[in-house]
Amino acid sequence: DVKVTQSSRYLVKRTGEKVFLECVQDMDHENMFWYRQDPGLGLRLIYFSYDVKMKEKGDIPEGYSVSREKKERFSLILESASTNQTSMYLCASSLVNMGYNQPQHFGDGTRLSIL
């Protein structure tokens, strides 16, 4: 089974801090994704990556950046955390498309609180 591991289940940080969320997958997937999930808003895509060092903006990239130095690891960075970034963050990975989107495999999420 594919395993996507997020480094923390719960995290509390202060406004203005630089925050790193880490995600590691063990199935050699090309694609990796970062989402945030808020009540009533569903999942919104922040950034995704289709290869090492490659990244693309999702729907809500403002205030975030990402890093993918190795195929298995995709990091989400909050450059200067703000209270409106308090949310559940979900990482996912998938194989490259083969004519249609491959299923995404999710980690258990990081519940981030910014005080």
Q: Given the rule CB under 8 A, which residues bind other proteins?
A: 4, 30-31, 33, 35, 40-43, 45, 48, 50, 56, 58-59, 90, 92, 94-97, 99-109, 111
**Shortest approach of other proteins to residue 70 CB, angstroms?**
18
**Shortest approach of other proteins to residue 5 CB, angstroms?**
11
Instruction: Kindly list the distances between the CA atom of residue 94 and the CA atoms of 12, 46, 61, in Å, as whole numbers in the listed order.
Output: 29, 16, 20
- Looking at the Cβ atoms of 75 and 94, the one nearer to other proteins is 94
Return contacts of 59-63, CB within 8 angstroms, 24+ apart. Answer: 60/36
* Geometric angle at alpha carbon 49, from 87 and 32, rounded to 5°: 60
- Looking at the Cβ atoms of 15 and 44, the one nearer to other proteins is 44
Query: CB–CB of 94/100 below 8 Å?
Result: no
Tokens 């998938």 correspond to what residue?
94
Rounded to whole angstroms, how far apart are CA atoms 28 and 104? 13
**Shortest approach of other proteins to residue 40 CB, angstroms?**
7
**Shortest approach of other proteins to residue 50 CB, angstroms?**
4
- Looking at the Cβ atoms of 18 and 57, the one nearer to other proteins is 57
